[in-house]
Structure 1
Amino acid sequence: MSDPSMSTQTPLVQLQAVSRVYRSRRHTGAWWRQLLKPEFNEHLALDEASLEIHAGQCLGLVGPNGAGKSTLVKLLTGLLQPDSGQISVLGFDPGKRQSAMLNQIGVVFGHKSSLWWDLPVKHSFEAVQKIYQTPPDVFNHDAQRYAELLRIDHLMQRAVRQLSLGERIKCELVLALAHQPRLLLLDEPTIGVDMESKQQLRAVINQILREKKIAVLLTTHDVNDLLACCSHIALLQAGELFQYSALKDLLGEFGLTSDNSRGLEDCLIEAFRARRDDDEEIEFGSVVLAGGVPEDDDEDV
């Protein structure tokens, strides 16, 4: 579906009717039958999803656990291939994993670290600077600036394993920004992070949106992330993208103001409840509901 509030400029990210199916071997009958004629279970992780992200926009991707959010992020980075549909990222096909595209993307996975666990933080920064071949003065200037904004410049000599979760995520964000990406992918960056750190992370995201005009995709369960950072929102459940619009339009549809986080969470829960399947559980933020399709977005493929 297309959002009429989008700019007429070429989007930095564009998905057109993209689907992705996970396949796992079905274990039935004798083992030798599986060798001769293997059977597979299929799970539709993403169902003909279409969306766009333009420069200067932050799209909040929201959905229950297992809805397909991480699958979508992996498709944008080329870690997964779509089964159908088309994806354009910065004018490239992400499935080809071209350096010209990857060098313009920054990624933060809240559940996984890009930092070397047993080494000081600065060693990871030095390695990333060489990998992206960003001029050292440019890389170090931006890294120092963002580190000061997030108040982590004193952590550069500390081993990553000694950092708190909030400190590590801040380091991850600085690392993702220091090579000056045009697209920033944030997969649940504030999960488990303390309130002050969340505020600092949101402030930096907003600052780069204003100053750098990059595109940001933010997956989150925290409605405060949406209200603080996002210009647009997409709702995803069981692989289906069923709502895609400017955040202000969605708030207007719900009759809410931009400072009503509790009201927005309640309305989102109702929206997902209305589309749930059977009696399975939906987990959204801190609330567990009946409904939904369980899936491990990090399933090996």
Structure 2
Amino acid sequence: MAIIQARSLTKIYRRIKKQDGLKGAFKALFHREVVKKAALDSFDLEIDEGECIGLIGPNGAGKTTLVKLLCGIIQPTSGSCDVLGFTPGMLKNEFRRSFAVVMGQKSQLWWDLPASDTFALNREIYDIPEEVYRANMDYFSDLFQVKDLINVPVRNLSLGERMKMELIAALLHSPRVLFLDEPTIGLDAIAQKQIRQFLRQVNQERGVTILLTSHYMEDIRHLCKRTVVISSGKKIYDGPLDMLLDRFQEYRVIHVTFERETEPQLDAVEWVEKSPYKAVFRIRRDLVTPTLQEMLSLYDVDDIRIEEEDIGNVIERIYHGENGGDSCGQVS
């Protein structure tokens, strides 16, 4: 059953455009040129309970605007949205207790205090029963292995450790929906992996519905079976991530090692690396089989490894409407 619904959701921002200098400022007092920009344009979305949805798109596409609208932080210009049976913009207490939001570039932790103080404050704000608070603290601190860090001042924690504390603070009141806006931004590979494992476990064991925006495609790939692509405020794809990648992943990267010194000559390939005993090239997916057959017949090949094209290149192609069209199409 859908617990998040958006219907023709539109958000238009207005800003004043003025000329440079004192003359421009004086002119703007009497004649203001207003520029309108649709951050979100007739956006439709349905999310079922327990889903983990990846929301991807270039900077300025409207991802954060959508998250803010669903949280009730800002009001839509037109259209409607419903989260857990509530209209977010009304900000009823029952609604605010049912969701949590974590933004990678904004912190709810007090810089000079330990995270335990923030946890205690959230307990009072959300009126969390003592037994629920203790159970959740034990569960999340064990899951993230941060029991020895809870009473350390936030300023003394690493970026990855702070993000773990942010997630614990967001989940202490047992929300049904978790909105995540770039939660792994700036983290190293190890911290990103830990965050992904944590979120996967929370989604699977506790049934928390997650809407995740991220520029790190490994986050989307490891957590989300369904992906929504947004560009210029419009939804251009909604469906399985595998189907999206299969359509736009046009190339493969082939690694070949040779038994003896070799200088291979092949058509229709883009050479990435060439050395006497090794060659790496990029080739269209439909040409992989005939090219490898040709290589095996001409050269003494020791080993072959086939890699999928880098997922970042695939997503960049989607954003720019390549593959013979202006968009990747929409899948229900």
Same-fold call, TM cutoff 0.5? yes
Q: What's the TM-score bracket when you normalise by the shorter of the two chains?
A: 0.7 to 0.9
Select the residue among 268, 271, 274 that pairs with 2:321. Answer: 274
Q: How many residues align?
A: 263
In the other structure, the counterpart of 2:18 is 27
Task: Please list the CA deviations of residues 87-126 of structure 1 after superposition, one character each: whole Å capped at 9, or x if unmatched.
Answer: 0011110011111111011111100101111111100000
Is the aligned partner of 1:166 residue 2:160?
Answer: yes
Conservation of the 8 A alpha-carbon contact between 2:245 and 2:314: no
Alignment of 1:119-138 (within 5 A): 119-138=113-132
Task: Please list the CA deviations of residues 59-87 of structure 1 after superposition, one character each: whole Å capped at 9, or x if unmatched.
Answer: 10111111111111111111111111110
Structure 1 SS opposite 2:164 = helix
Q: Unaligned regions of 5+ residues in structure 1, if any?
A: 1-8, 276-301
Q: Unaligned regions of 5+ residues in structure 2, if any?
A: 251-306, 323-332
Conservation of the 8 A alpha-carbon contact between 1:75 and 1:94: yes
Aligned CA distance change for structure 1 residues 166 and 31 (closer, same or farther; 3 Å): closer
In the other structure, the counterpart of 1:199 is 193
In the other structure, the counterpart of 1:140 is 134
The Cα RMSD (Å) is: 2.0
C-alpha distance in 2 between matches for 1:32 and 1:246: 53
In the other structure, the counterpart of 2:3 is 12
Alignment of 1:1-301 (within 5 A): 9=1, 11-27=2-18, 34=28, 38-254=32-248, 262-274=309-321
C-alpha distance in 2 between matches for 1:169 and 1:72: 22
TM-score, scaled to structure 2 = 0.74
| 82-91 vs 193-202, greater mean Cα deviation | 193-202
| 30-39 vs 139-148, greater mean Cα deviation | 30-39
Aligned CA distance change for structure 1 residues 32 and 254 (closer, same or farther; 3 Å): closer
Say which structure is richer in strand: 2
| Percent identity of paired positions between Structure 1 and Structure 2 | 37
C-alpha distance in 2 between matches for 1:105 and 1:262: 37
Structure 2 SS opposite 1:106 = strand
C-alpha distance in 2 between matches for 1:93 and 1:269: 34
C-alpha distance in 2 between matches for 1:30 and 1:107: 40
Structure 1 SS opposite 2:82 = strand
Aligned CA distance change for structure 1 residues 98 and 261 (closer, same or farther; 3 Å): farther
Q: How big is the shift at 1:248? A: 3.3
Conservation of the 8 A alpha-carbon contact between 1:15 and 1:86: yes
